Amino acid sequence: MGTAHCLLPTAYYLRPTASRATAKAENGKKKNHLPRQRQHQYLLTVMPSPLPFPFPELLLEKLNITSTVITRTTWVLTSTSTASNRLLLTIAATLVTLTVYALFKISLVVRQVHAARHRWLDLPTLPRHPIWGNLVNMGEKLNPSLNRHPDYGFVEIWNALDQPDAYLMDMLPLDNCFLVVAHPSVAETLVQPSPAYKYSLPKSDTIKTLWRLIGLESMIIVDGEEWRSLRKRFNRGFAPAHLHSLAPLILSKTRIFINRLKAVAHTKATFMLKDFAQDLTTDIITELTVEKDFHAQSTPDGQGHKGPLGMLTASRLLSGLTYPLGRGVGWHLVDPIRPVRAWFYEMVYNRELGKVVGEQVAAEQGGKRAGEGEDKKEEDQERPTQTQTQQKSITRLALSGMIPNNALLRNTVSQIKSFLFAGQDTTATLIQWLCFELSKASWSDRHAEILRKLVAEHDAVFGKSEDPFNALDVLGRGDDEGRRQAETILGSKLPYTTAFIKETLRLHPPASTVRLIPEIGPENPVPVNVRVRDMKNGGEKEINVNGLRVYVAAYLVHRHKGIWGEDADSFRPDRWLDDEYMSKLPSGAWRPFERGPRNCIGQELAMLEAKIVLCAVARAFKWEKVGYSGRKGVDGQLPKGDGSDDPEMEVWSISNVTAVPLGGMEMKVERR
């Protein structure tokens, strides 16, 4: 017949009839007005499907799609068909194919959503839309336009549900369902090791959105034996004994911090405490990890490492360019410039850190400090030397005995990025909240009494002196006896100072953990179940949580009145010194650094820095939070974040990867 075939990869196609005579016979006496070259009839022929899924005939029947518009169509065209006809037929076939495929995929999603919602019917949750689940009512609480941390929205939902041990956030069909945990017993079940999960449940895949900031191979991201190997390598550097031996470095940087505070106290200028605290913690963590002083506290903005292409600038900008977890759907998801800027600053960051880590490898291999030279003599004179501390940096300890190669360097850069982010960000946030709680003593009698107890402890331990900074001298003695004395003081002689810090972390936790519980399958055959309070029938019930993402909300756990009492929202350090009260707290009630095998590796360092800073400033300065007196504030009052909040209410947190104080904590200080 001389036909030319144009085939499409489909299961159904139309074929020409055997002859024109047959076609005429079938058409009877009807006159065909079509051009001669188009007088062809086509019969539907069903062929086996070559596609990777079965064609949903049942779905087509339910949708009443007739066989004449079946999508996956292969047209056999005659040589006399025109090019325009072939194009139109191809376009039509493609569109119908895509339509039915889309309907098929939608049917799968509908079945999955229905199954998931039926599976977790017993979990408390807000009323759900039949299609969008909790995306609408949850979005009202977690709207990115609200100038507040998502935790405040979680608290509002928790209160609306009568404060269950855990509740469900149905984010289907756009994302997984989330389990928000508000009780420590549930949290402990999920973060502690088990026979099925030796190092506790894996981290959520959402944490990978931070990879440019903390590195793809970061121990914050990886799981299993890979995580265990990294944690074991770096544990030595974060051991309490090693950190206490490096206290002279911390003290030397704290003195610069104090000098900056003295300067603004003298001029009575307002300043952003965030900048001062972040510069301090940056100088400390870089010294301890890579023996490198970036002079964050003494370098003006726009110069050196704070310049447009500086490492400190790159690291801090990356925090704002990463995906803001828990902030919903916003412009950041489609901003075309954002990923380009993130890539550029990551390149700047990695380049500088690669050099520094290379120097550490060379120093460890050569048995001497990295980067020694004429340009470093002045720097080395200003700080305790390797001989004085008798210790290596955290990085050198981790590299000890290892054979250097590109893979090791790349992996180490990821770990250092993680330490620099956590070491400067969360500890700087803690320092801001410590000073904020000190500022309340100027207008609150209760807080004035708290400050009096804190000052009394410092006078007793360091001696009452006309010099309010004498704690730095006592803790900074360089002889062996002085170092032992400093370690004893910081370790066990400051109970009220420690209680002050713990209470600050209880009310203002910087971060929480998110885990992803795998579905039950060949690789994960053991179900993960948790016991929660039965809100309907009383008592407890067991629920299966496989397939859920889990957010252990430290903010909710720390302010749970059923655990901490009616004053759970109040700042009361004395609770930590009440043995009877503390004995009644359930395990895991306090978790600012999380718990279990994957707790924060740097928690001892954060506590050490906080103690030194608090000892240095408590007796020396009066703090004032600019624009806030707190007289109208109510403990536990939740911010709306929509611009209608009273400025006199409690200062709140916003989300910038972690929870950070609103507005950078603008302050004034004066000497006592």
Binding-site residues, please? 600
- The bridge status of strand 178-181 relative to strand 549-552 is parallel
Q: Whose CA is closest to 663, among 200, 271, 183?
A: 271
Q: Is the separation of the CB atoms in 412 and 437 below 8 Å?
A: no
What is the Cα–Cα distance from 161 to 124, expressed in whole angstroms?
7
Q: Is the separation of the CB atoms in 515 and 203 below 8 Å?
A: yes
Q: Give the type of residue at 11.
A: A
What is the Cα–Cα distance from 340 to 347, expressed in whole angstroms?
11
Token pair in block for residue 380: 């080395």
For residue 544, which phi and psi values (nearest 5 degrees)? Answer: -90, 135
What is the Cα–Cα distance from 439 to 629, expressed in whole angstroms?
9
Q: If 0-12 CB within 10 Å is exposed, 13-18 middle and 19+ buried, where does residue 446 land?
A: exposed
List the beta strands (DSSP E) in 247-289.
271-272
What is the Cα–Cα distance from 255 to 124, expressed in whole angstroms?
51
Interhelix angle 406-439/445-462, rounded to 10 degrees, is: 120
The residue whose two tokens read 């300067």 is 263
What is the Cα–Cα distance from 666 to 662, expressed in whole angstroms?
9
Binding-site residues for heme, in ranges, read 600
| Radius of gyration, alpha carbons of the chain | 32
The helices-and-strands tally (H runs, E runs) of the chain is: 25, 14
Q: Whose CA is closest to 433, among 659, 638, 633?
A: 659
Token pair in block for residue 65: 């799609």
What is the Cα–Cα distance from 630 to 443, expressed in whole angstroms?
8
Q: Give the type of residue at 321.
A: L
